[in-house]
Chain A
Amino acid sequence: MFRNYLTIAFRNLLRHKTFSLITIFGLAVGLASCLLLLLYISQEASYDTFHTKADRIARVTMEYSMDGQVGQYGVTGTKVVPDFGRSFPEVESGVRMLAGQAVVSNKSIRFREKRFVYADSAFFHLFSFPLLKGDPAKALAAPNQLVLSASTARKYFGDRNPVGQTLRIGLDKDFMVTGVVADCPPNSQIKYDLLASFTSLDDAKTEQWWSANYASYLLLRTPASIRSLEAKIPAYMRTKSAETEMTGKNYLTYFLEPMPGVHLHSAVSGVFEPAGNVTYIYIFGAIALLILVIACVNYINLASARAVERAQEVGVRKVMGALPRQLFGQFMGESSLVTFTALLIGGLLSYLLLPVFNSLTDRQFSAAVWLDPRTIMIVLAVGTLVSLIAGSYPALILTRYKPVQVLKGHLKGHSASRFRQSLIVFQFAITAFLIVSTVMVKRQLSFIQQKKLGYNKEHVLILPANRQVNGQISAVKQQLTQLSGVKHVSFVYESPTFVNGGYGMRRFDMPENTYRMITGLPVDEDFVKTTGLQIVAGSDLTEQDMIRANDPKGDTLNSYRFILNEAAVKDFGWKTPQEAIGKRVDMGGNRKGEVKAVVANFHFASMRQKISPIVLFTEYGGGSMLVKLAGNDITGTIRQIEGTWKKLAPNYPFEYQFMDQEFNKLYAGETRTGQLFTVFAGLSILLACLGLFGLSAFTTAQRTKEIGIRKVLGASIPGLIFLLTKDFLKLVLIAILIASPLAWYAMNKWLDDFAYKVSVEWWVFALTALLAVGIAFLTVSFQSLKAAWMNPVRSLRSE
């Protein structure tokens, strides 16, 4: 009997190729999308779960309040870990880490290492990174020790054993390699290529509450003590107010975040890679589900529509004595066959598309995950679920047919058609929703791209400054500006696309120790010219200003010159930019001087945030070098800059980045979302249209006789097409009406994250409607045209 079912299922699939192609291909694409998105979601959700002690590890975040302004950071000073270890019995151990970059060399092999991390010796006690060579207890115990990741070890030492060898860090520090650790897995928030012992740092010698640059992790004795310890911290920190100099209403305190939740759920960014966002997990999960639902709907719709055709078979089987249970089993078996064929194709498809998906998501997923028994179980469960959902409705309809009715008269599929119509509405509502979302995400992204930033990010190179370059600033500037393609060179602490530095500042006429929080950026006299900031009052910095500020013998009460933005002017209470010029200010007690200029507000952070006060001040930051190019022959100019660089800083690799690239990185998440939306919205449109195509083919075939009669009676071809398409178009329009308010709400919610954003306008919905109706019309009219052009004699004979 089973063979008989299988035979008939196969022959049915082969005989109705369009139907089979649409359902199997649709389901395959749906399942492939699901598999790929599942990869993404499962990796995001599995972040840091591989640490065996993950449930006892907590990241320490810092919060302080100064004169009513509250700041939260994912970093702390050096004191938190050792002090909490001594003061709280709940704490078993802890690790401090400093993440940065370093130029590392083994004789002539030299690289700038972007994932260079200093870590306390308990690192391997807390975290489950397997040490392949070396002793986990001693590898980071003494100063100037270094543990390499396996691939970094190969980079510098080939196949030789690196343990016991030395590597040079920067210009003159030698570190001994004491271990090799496995490359960190992609689902780890802590990312490193080299681990250096924390004791190598000068800062490690003192314990400080402030100078918060360090990631701090605590290992607690029990998982429950994370919360109980956290509750004790505010009171404890108040006892330290003399040390922290946070008295009165001002405070400094800490929070503990369970490690596995940091990646997706923390609102505070740390020193490692940018955190994930749980919202996007929900969004992608929903998209995967929606696409699968669309594919299922295709199957349900087509199979239940075709049920009429198979009524005769059901009738015969019933007459032969088939029980409803047996028939239900037969049709469920058929849907399983379809689903699992689709699953196989979908699996292959997702395997082939993995590289594309990787570049789309900027991740490195490997197909090995799918071979994991747990994944296979999940996939099989999904397959079973899909065949159950997609198969049960058609199976139910078929089983319910009464043999007498089926074998005698003609069956009209009216009872099920209302259901099919609702499914089409549902499908197109999803599609319309995705189209609206795609258009809105794209609009917001192009808005960000095109918004006037207040500075010019075009043709600006960012190079990492280093000791050799910082030691000869004027020579570097002079030699580079001599090149015809270079307009300006500026030394700055960091690029203006995203300024991190936080400072306190007060007007001289404000009481001491009443600092306002302000973002700050050390710049030189060429910064405004290089970045094209617009001065609205006062005048630009000069070389003289730089000399005065950096003169150790100068007037410490008035050596600095400051440039404020308009937001800072307002924050300090001056009525106009002009009023601020020449006013004396004090930054943190150690930088004093006067406001020399005010620049128009510019975006030094993501557009998610409103522009806040910022101060530029005369100090050589030594972090980056900005080079403004003339814009013609960029490759030639870069080659010339490289030549000059090699002469001036022979010990450092020549690396650069364009400022607009760096800017785009700020919106990498959104860009990725936009691309994923486009791809999956496209897919859902394709699938929905395939379903519509199949269904319209079916209904048109059912109406062949009607069309013949109408033609004989003189109906025109456009009239017939209208007749055949109008029912479907009506459904699509209803779908758009349902989807529009939902999409409007969802997109407004998404845009709420941005301080600077486009508005959701009516024409987006009109465009979506036009698009959806247009596509649906094309799909359906293909079938209608075929029917309308048919010779009526043929269509009448077909009954």
Chain B
Amino acid sequence: MIKTVNLQKLFATEEVETTALNGISMDVQDGEFVAIMGPSGCGKSTLLNILGLLDNPSGGEYHFYGTEVSKMSERQRAQLRKGSIGFVFQSFNLIDELTVYENVELPLLYLKTPADERKVRVEETLTRMNIMHRRNHFPQQLSGGQQQRTAIARAVVAKPKLILADEPTGNLDSANGEEVMKLLNQLNDEGTTIIMVTHSPYDAGFAHRIVNLFDGKVVTENFHV
């Protein structure tokens, strides 16, 4: 479903040009759980952003479900991303002015899902993420674990085929982190493809495959099971 060929990403400022990605070629199959690891600054998040259609590569090809997307405009990418990719961030990125319920509802609003269906799906997801009792709370009133569960609920509510998680446990204690990983694992068991950036070898242990990056290049790939 995802295939990159020789992906390049350059960041240029007035003085220096940094190569963040240097020829990344990789495939991710449907239903796979892939962890991307590597030291700080190796290009993990840059890769994730490109895979998530948030950014364009400077070179190379990116086939997203058979469509070449590397030259698409922001507008086209937004259309493609809507409903097909869910995002989970380290810092949760919930909107402070919206309640748990409203945050989770947001992707469905942009998908123009009818109101009654929206209600069913949001409540279903909240129940599943065990956050239903907090539906009318604002993000600041929640613990970190609850916030991340809300963020995951928001990522999955539109039933995307792909979830991209950027250090989803980075801001959580181990108990909450464990819970989040189990949730992701469960989603993967149900067929959702997951690509996760992480520093934690333990978290990476949940994945089928670990891709190690160094200086913008894939150095090793380890397969579990």
Contact = CB atoms under 8 A, between A and B. Distances in A.
On whether the two chains bind one another, the answer is yes
Contacts of A407: 89, 93
Contacts of A1: 109-110, 112
Interface stretch (B35-43, B74-82, B121-129, B189-197): B74-82
Interface stretch (B60-68, B95-103, B141-149, B208-216): B95-103
B109 A12 contact: no
Interface in A117-148: none
Contact of A15 (B55, B94, B97, B109): B97
Nearest to B48: A404
A403 interface: yes
Interface string A1-33: 100100110011001000000000000000000
B219 interface: no
A376 interface: no
Interface in A529-577: none
Nearest to A313: B95
Interface in A279-329: 312-313, 315-324, 326
Given A4-B102, A318-B78, A319-B54, A312 B107 contact: no
Nearest to A2: B109
A84 B87 CA distance: 89
B110 A321 contact: yes
A408 interface: yes
A319 B87 contact: yes
B83 interface: yes
A279 to B, nearest CB: 49
Given A4-B106, A404-B49, A316 B95 contact: yes
Contacts of B83: 321
B98 A7 contact: yes
B97 A12 contact: yes
B111 interface: yes
The residue in A316, A317, A404, A407 that gathers the most chain B C-beta atoms within 10 A of its C-beta is A316
A607 to B, nearest CB: 61
Given A7-B102, A404-B49, A321 B95 contact: no
A8 B75 contact: no
Contacts of B98: 4, 7-8, 11
B206 to A, nearest CB: 23
Contacts of B111: 321
Nearest to A408: B45
B79 A321 contact: yes
A321 B81 contact: yes
A12 B75 CA distance: 27
Contacts of B79: 321, 323
Contacts of A8: 95, 97-98
Contacts of A312: 93, 95
Nearest to A8: B97
A722 to B, nearest CB: 32
Given A321-B78, A408-B45, A326 B97 contact: no
Contact of A11 (B55, B75, B97, B109): B97
Contacts of B93: 312, 315-316, 319, 407
Interface in A400-428: 402-404, 407-408
Nearest to A322: B110
Contacts of A322: 78, 110
Contacts of B82: 320-321
Nearest to A314: B95
Given A318-B78, A322-B78, A323-B78, A403 B54 contact: yes
Contacts of B109: 1, 4
Contacts, number: 68
A310 to B, nearest CB: 9
A11 to B, nearest CB: 4
B75 A324 contact: yes
A8 B103 CA distance: 11
Contacts of A11: 97-98
Interface in A315-357: 315-324, 326
Given A403-B54, A408-B45, A317 B106 contact: yes
Contacts of A324: 74-75
Interface in A617-662: none
B10 to A, nearest CB: 15
Contacts of A315: 93
Contacts of B106: 4, 316-317, 320
A402 B154 CA distance: 20
A586 B54 CA distance: 99
A148 B218 CA distance: 101
Contacts of B89: 407
Nearest to B111: A321
The residue in A313, A323, A403 that gathers the most chain B C-beta atoms within 10 A of its C-beta is A403
Nearest to A9: B97
A15 to B, nearest CB: 7
A581 B109 CA distance: 98
A323 B87 contact: no
Contacts of A12: 97
A323 B109 CA distance: 12
A321 B157 CA distance: 14
A237 B96 CA distance: 84
Given A7-B102, A321-B111, A313 B97 contact: yes
Nearest to B108: A320
Nearest to B93: A316
Contacts of B75: 323-324
Interface in B151-168: 154
B154 to A, nearest CB: 8
Contacts of B102: 4, 7
The residue in A7, A316, A321 that gathers the most chain B C-beta atoms within 10 A of its C-beta is A321
A103 to B, nearest CB: 72
The residue in B87, B94, B95, B98 that gathers the most chain A C-beta atoms within 10 A of its C-beta is B95
A313 B55 CA distance: 18
B45 A326 contact: no
Given A4-B102, A407-B89, A321 B107 contact: yes
A324 B96 CA distance: 21
Contact of A320 (B49, B55, B110): B110
Nearest to A309: B96
A246 to B, nearest CB: 81
A24 B96 CA distance: 22
A574 to B, nearest CB: 84
The residue in A319, A322, A326 that gathers the most chain B C-beta atoms within 10 A of its C-beta is A319
B36 to A, nearest CB: 16
Interface string A738-750: 0000000000000
A581 to B, nearest CB: 90
Contacts of A326: 110
A607 B80 CA distance: 76
Interface string B24-64: 00000000000000000000010001001011000000000
Contacts of B95: 8, 312-313, 316-317
A144 to B, nearest CB: 79
A321 B49 CA distance: 14
A113 to B, nearest CB: 66
Contacts of A408: 45
Contacts of B74: 324
B101 to A, nearest CB: 11
A334 to B, nearest CB: 11
Contacts of A403: 54
A192 B82 CA distance: 73
7 closest A-B pairs by beta carbon, nearest first, are A321-B82, A11-B97, A320-B107, A321-B110, A1-B109, A313-B95, A8-B97
Given A1-B110, A313-B95, A321-B107, 16 more contacts: A4-B98, A4-B106, A4-B109, A7-B97, A8-B97, A12-B97, A316-B93, A317-B106, A319-B52, A319-B93, A321-B78, A321-B82, A321-B83, A322-B110, A323-B79, A326-B110
21 contacts: A4-B109, A7-B97, A312-B93, A313-B96, A313-B97, A316-B106, A317-B95, A317-B110, A318-B78, A319-B81, A319-B87, A320-B106, A321-B79, A321-B81, A323-B75, A323-B79, A402-B55, A404-B49, A404-B55, A407-B89, A407-B93
